[in-house]
């Protein structure tokens, strides 16, 4: 008989048998499985993770009580900010603070609460625990990181999920993000218009958004009859504590570039500092364009030209996309417009 037509008693029995299977495979009691799936701190973290993985592998169905709680009483959305275990990018990063604040405002305006959490970027699928336990209606994830496949798998599990990021090939999940290809192209075209021809690219292209920005960078170079030089591409992470030494070494050892496209404003500021330490000035020797247009961009020295991302509007878009899913709507991904904000690090060409 299809599960949707099962009586409450048969559904309860099916759930009990599933829990018994998980308990047997995990080598724990059924009561421990129940506590683990509900996120109880009485169960150690290693056991909770093992139980969650087994539940996912068995397509374990969420209990009816938790599902009803989500639908009728729960007004909480989990906002998850992954971290790279190596670079450990802090949540105090200006971009994270801005977008989390934008989401919080949008949720408050609609009468919802926010549960802020972090997961290892290698295990994005752990973001589902808040939904699986009934503690949240759905999940907004900040960034795609390197595990596009895990995001697709969560969507196949019918997890209400919206991701801040760029739309990628073979993507099943809903994403909201700025036009990264256009942003990379705008930054590069502007530097070309300033007469710069040796344009470096700073950012880790293994990350989907950076990969898309690099596509725009390469397109703009091709328009000018130039090819990207792999020697001028620096795979620096977003975390300043790790990126600083990488950028400093690059600027100290290479003096054959006259402009830089940086994939965040923080990376742009690190590059300006490193160039000064190596005896070069911005923008006279090297013109710099950042990315994001965080408030700090207008107040650094020199003020930073940068690609403006629609962070203030992003919160409402992310929340509305998630609520649309909860209403049963088919919600598509959205790419939001970006534009170039010119300041003194790469000023407008002289007329």
Arithmetic mean of pLDDT, 43-63: 72
Angle 122-126-131 from CA coordinates, rounded to 5°: 155
Q: How confident is the model over 300-326, as pLDDT tens digits?
A: 999 999 999 999 999 999 999 999 999
Q: Tell me phi and psi for residue 58, to 5 degrees.
A: -95, 5
CB 287 within 8 A of CB 296: no
Q: State the CATH class of domain 180-310.
A: alpha beta
CB 275 within 8 A of CB 281: yes
pLDDT over 50 at 3, yes or no: no
Arithmetic mean of pLDDT, 154-171: 89
pLDDT over 70 at 62, yes or no: no
Q: How confident is the model over 118-136, as pLDDT tens digits?
A: 888 888 888 888 888 888 9
Indicate the range of 103-117, 118-132, 248-262, 288-302 predicted with least confidence: 118-132
Q: Fold match between 1-61 and 180-310?
A: no
Give domain limits for the chain: 1-61, 180-310
Q: How confident is the model over 107-121, as pLDDT tens digits?
A: 999 999 999 998 888
Residue 177, classed as helix, strand or coil, is strand
How far is Cα of residue 216 from the mean position of the Cα atoms in its chain? Answer: 19
- Structurally, at CATH architecture level, domain 1-61 sits in Orthogonal Bundle (1.10)
Of residues 145 and 66, which shows the higher confidence score? 145
CB 139 within 8 A of CB 159: yes
- β-pair partners for 120: 83
Percent of the chain with pLDDT over 90: 57
Q: What is the mean pLDDT of the chain?
A: 87
Q: What single string gives the DSSP state of each residue in 107-164?
A: HHHTT-EEEEE--BGGGGGGGGHHHHTTS-S-EEEE--TT-HHHHHHHHHTT--EEEE
How far is residue 89's CA from residue 41's CA, in Å, rounded to a whole number?
Answer: 26
Band of the pLDDT at 34, cuts 50, 70, 90?
confident
Band of the pLDDT at 8, cuts 50, 70, 90?
very low
């Amino acid at each position: 008989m299809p599960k949707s037509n099962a009586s409450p008693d048969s559904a309860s029995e099916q759930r009990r048998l599933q829990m018994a299977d998980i308990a047997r495979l995990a080598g724990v009691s059924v009561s421990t499985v129940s506590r683990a799936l509900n996120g109880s701190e009485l169960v150690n973290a290693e056991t909770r993770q093992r139980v969650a993985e087994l539940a996912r592998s068995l397509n374990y169905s969420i209990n009816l009580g938790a599902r009803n709680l989500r639908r009728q009483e729960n007004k909480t959305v989990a906002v998850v900010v992954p971290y790279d275990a190596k670079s450990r990018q802090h949540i105090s990063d200006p971009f994270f603070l801005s977008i989390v604040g934008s989401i919080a405002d949008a949720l408050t305006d609609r009468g919802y609460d926010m549960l802020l959490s972090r997961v290892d970027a290698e295990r994005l699928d752990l973001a589902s625990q808040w939904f699986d336990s009934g503690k949240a209606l759905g999940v907004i994830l900040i960034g795609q990181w390197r595990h596009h496949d895990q995001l697709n798998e969560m969507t196949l599990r019918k997890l209400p999920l919206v991701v801040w990021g760029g739309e990628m090939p073979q993507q099943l999940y809903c994403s909201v993000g700025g036009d990264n290809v256009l942003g990379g192209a705008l930054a590069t075209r502007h530097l070309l218009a300033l007469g710069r021809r040796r344009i470096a690219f700073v950012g880790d292209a293994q990350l989907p958004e950076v990969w898309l920005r690099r596509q725009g960078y390469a397109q703009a170079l091709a328009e000018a009859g130039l090819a990207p030089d792999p020697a001028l591409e620096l795979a620096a992470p977003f975390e300043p504590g790790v990126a600083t030494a990488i950028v400093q070494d690059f600027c100290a050892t290479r003096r054959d570039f006259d402009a830089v496209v940086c994939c965040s404003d923080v990376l742009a500021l690190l590059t300006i500092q490193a160039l000064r330490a190596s005896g070069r000035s911005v923008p006279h020797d090297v013109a710099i364009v950042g990315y994001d247009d965080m408030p700090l961009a207008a107040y650094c020295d020199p003020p930073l030209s940068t690609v403006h991302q629609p962070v203030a509007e992003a919160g409402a878009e992310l929340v509305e996309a998630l609520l649309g899913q909860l209403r049963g709507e088919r919600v598509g991904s959205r790419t939001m417009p970006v534009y170039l904000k010119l300041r003194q690090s790469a000023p407008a060409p002289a007329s």
